[in-house]
Amino acid sequence: MKLILDLTFIKSVCHDDQDFINEVLDTFLIEMPKDIAQMNQAVTDQDVVIIGRMAHKIKSTLQTLGLFELKELALQIEQLAKVVPPDLSILTLSKEFIKHMDGVYPNAKKLIC
């Protein structure tokens, strides 16, 4: 899975303002680990509702940062969270998602100027 951030979208929106891009990346590096920790706890608790909420919350950030494959995985998790009775394959997908997210942080740190 491609874990390199593609900042094409955000650069076009902010007209290549590096200070703004740095702020977005800083916020990502501060907030995303909290969201992933919450999702990880929900996986441990097998709380499908919280897993779905976290996937929904994270999705737009992934889109903004050009992490399209991870965004699609988050969407798939979000959709599985709506299945009744719960489809426990969501737990495996969520663990995979969390593992991939851990690989994103070093790449994001490299992009801050």
Residue-level pLDDT, tens digit, the chain, 113 residues:
778 899 999 999 999 999 999 999 999 999 999 999 999 999 999 999 999 999 999 999 999 999 999 999 999 999 999 999 989 999 999 999 999 999 998 889 888 87
Residue type, 13: V
Task: Tell me if 2 is assigned to some domain.
Answer: no
Collect all residues with Cβ–Cβ distance below 8 Å to 57 and sequence separation of at least 6.
Answer: 35
Q: Is residue 100 part of a domain?
A: yes
Alpha-carbon gap, residue 88 to 73, rounded angstroms: 15
Q: Give the total number of structural domains in the chain.
A: 1
User: Which domain range does residue 96 map to?
Assistant: 8-110
Q: Give the three-state DSSP class for 82.
A: coil
Overall pTM surpassing 0.85 (yes/no): yes
92: domain CATH number? Answer: 1.20.120
